A and B are shown apart, each in its own frame.
Chain A
């Protein structure tokens, strides 16, 4: 296959995002992903339809969910003949899934499909300590009663202990917040700037809800009709009153208000070729133009854990012959307010762009009025793998409203020092 065609974003559906141990505390990843699919199927009349594929994933996954997406498809109203597979690239999962599917469509390997992601911070798998795990496996291998008794006898009370997977990096032992605090300090991101970004996120998300913007992007689930984390009435004063939770001493700037909370939720995006869209009475909202993934060495401390998008974007821009200012809208995932601000600061920095990116001039600044115009993760919450789908569907709709040719940039940072970015263009 040598020729390519355009892959269109046709629409999306997500369930409102809930806070950890909130209304979705009892729901599994499969339940939430199935529900998000059901809403998408209903919105686009896909009941009984065989799609090219469904690709989604979750960052925190039970071992029983080895076929999470396929199981969700089987539980949905889609035709059971629709294949599915899981991907996982930490918080970049949802966007990476969209890029994968868009590429398959562009190559003619699929005509349609759904990309998405889901995560539950409430229904996280509980893992027993490594030593106990090995002893339990030995126990299960034991054939005779005597062997079993022997294996059992080896388990010491001190072995018993459980580990709930957290957001800490395996190689550094530091949480994402701790990593981010170092980066924020390196870039001199102030508490005030972070709080302002958080405030804007809440106010913009609230305004979008009021305008009915999410009426065709969301389906309620388990009684929740909008993102639980949203605080429409929050103020700078309220945000300023919160105590810092990451960083140390004077330099600590990060609070629960300017960091995303642990969340539960799922998001899906419908993609298709133009022919498929037309045959199904669907109007493309936007086309996938390009995608890029970067990684940085956060282990040695050479670069901040969440700074990879700062590298991915310039590479993609160069390939497309675009400048950072050639966009009508920017969607930069707010893992922390300081993540967004550090990334913007890096692009504005002459030394960073010269020394790190090898550019003659800095990428420059962006018009902040075009950034996260309907709010982002600080207000909506951030169920890791679901965020990419939320952003792609939101941006596609925003671009379609702005009119043909308008262009949007997506940037999502991810654990492991990775970053996934993409360009969408209104149909």
Chain B
């Protein structure tokens, strides 16, 4: 497996530009076996604080569970813009994610981050690819994430659906969140994910959405913070993004907490029939 060590975390903006201009003509069935790596990445505390604030966490030294994903996401993007990557990044849909924090992560820990992508798989609406992100501290694996993305295209109707989310909890809302129109732009500024579908109704419409939508990783992090300190780790959480959260909108958090963890869902306010995201926190 080829490992390329990059001198630092690449800047997201140029990568996304490259992704846009190289989107057409990507083909093939193989995902190159390649790992991109950055050693001893340091956490920028101001950026961390901005992330903690926008996702509802306390500004503190402990990293939120989904934060290393934000740190490592330029590596993932860099993987996807390589000429030999078969799917086009623009239009990829984040279907689900799983994150494990093996121990509480401190902002002072230097993180060695790695990103690699798994094989393509058939899906009803196209093909999916898995991306694995990891963080090591002094050689110990402390954090890992598996993301599944859908490249929309000619799908395989016969694909068996596997591993879907558990049923969303029923019952009254635990919290109501009013998501402002500029949430996508604000989170983009914090996370570096400036995907146009999150920024403005016009840019989102150009990519086939009715209007702009919240970042899935924002929704995920916001739910985790609402589930309390247990989400900081050591624990595993999973999220399934079932339908977009349009901006602006009002959503409800509904959650069920048991001895083995929590199941939570985000649904449009006043509409119990639809679910935008389901989060499971095992703890």
Report yes or no: B58 in contact with A222, Cβ–Cβ below 8 A.
Answer: no
- Whole-angstrom distance between the alpha carbons of A427 and B254 in the complex? 50
CB nearest neighbor in A for B225: A75
Report yes or no: A223 in contact with B53, Cβ–Cβ below 8 A.
Answer: no
Could you say which residues of chain A place their CB within 8 Å of the CB of B52?
31
Is B50's beta carbon under 8 Å from chain A?
A: yes
- A222 touching B45 in the complex, CB below 8 Å, given contacts A30-B58, A34-B60: yes
- CB contacts under 8 Å to B, within A215-242, are 220-223
Is B46's beta carbon under 8 Å from chain A?
A: yes
Report yes or no: B229 in contact with A77, Cβ–Cβ below 8 A.
Answer: yes
Q: Mark A52-87, 1 if CB is under 8 A from B, else 0.
A: 000000000000000000000001010000000000
Q: Give the shortest distance, in Å, between B44 (CB) and chain A (any CB).
A: 11
Is A268's beta carbon under 8 Å from chain B?
A: no
Q: Give the shortest distance, in Å, between A218 (CB) and chain B (any CB).
A: 14
Number of A-B contacts (CB under 8 A): 38
Is A27's beta carbon under 8 Å from chain B?
A: yes
Is A251's beta carbon under 8 Å from chain B?
A: no
- A26 touching B108 in the complex, CB below 8 Å, given contacts A34-B60, A222-B45, A223-B61: no
- Whole-angstrom distance between the alpha carbons of A223 and B59 in the complex? 12
Report yes or no: A26 in contact with B45, Cβ–Cβ below 8 A.
Answer: yes
- Whole-angstrom distance between the alpha carbons of A27 and B45 in the complex? 10
Report yes or no: A222 in contact with B53, Cβ–Cβ below 8 A.
Answer: no
Could you say which residues of chain A place their CB within 8 Å of the CB of B58?
30-31, 34-35, 75
- A27 touching B61 in the complex, CB below 8 Å, given contacts A77-B229, A223-B108: no
CB nearest neighbor in A for B56: A75
Could you say which residues of chain B place their CB within 8 Å of the CB of A30?
58
Is A23's beta carbon under 8 Å from chain B?
A: yes
Report yes or no: A222 in contact with B229, Cβ–Cβ below 8 A.
Answer: no
Is B131's beta carbon under 8 Å from chain A?
A: no
Is A28's beta carbon under 8 Å from chain B?
A: yes
Report yes or no: B59 in contact with A26, Cβ–Cβ below 8 A.
Answer: yes
- A27 touching B229 in the complex, CB below 8 Å, given contacts A35-B58, A221-B61: no
Q: Mark A28-64, 1 if CB is under 8 A from B, else 0.
A: 1011001100100000000000000000000000000
- A26 touching B46 in the complex, CB below 8 Å, given contacts A34-B58, A221-B61, A223-B61: yes
Is B204's beta carbon under 8 Å from chain A?
A: no
Choice from B45, B46, B60, B108 contacting A35 with Cβ under 8 Å: B60
Q: Give the shortest distance, in Å, between A84 (CB) and chain B (any CB).
A: 16
- Whole-angstrom distance between the alpha carbons of A27 and B58 in the complex? 8
Q: Known contacts A28-B59, A75-B58; can you find 8 more A-B pairs with CB under 8 A? A: A25-B46, A26-B46, A26-B50, A27-B49, A31-B52, A221-B60, A222-B45, A222-B60
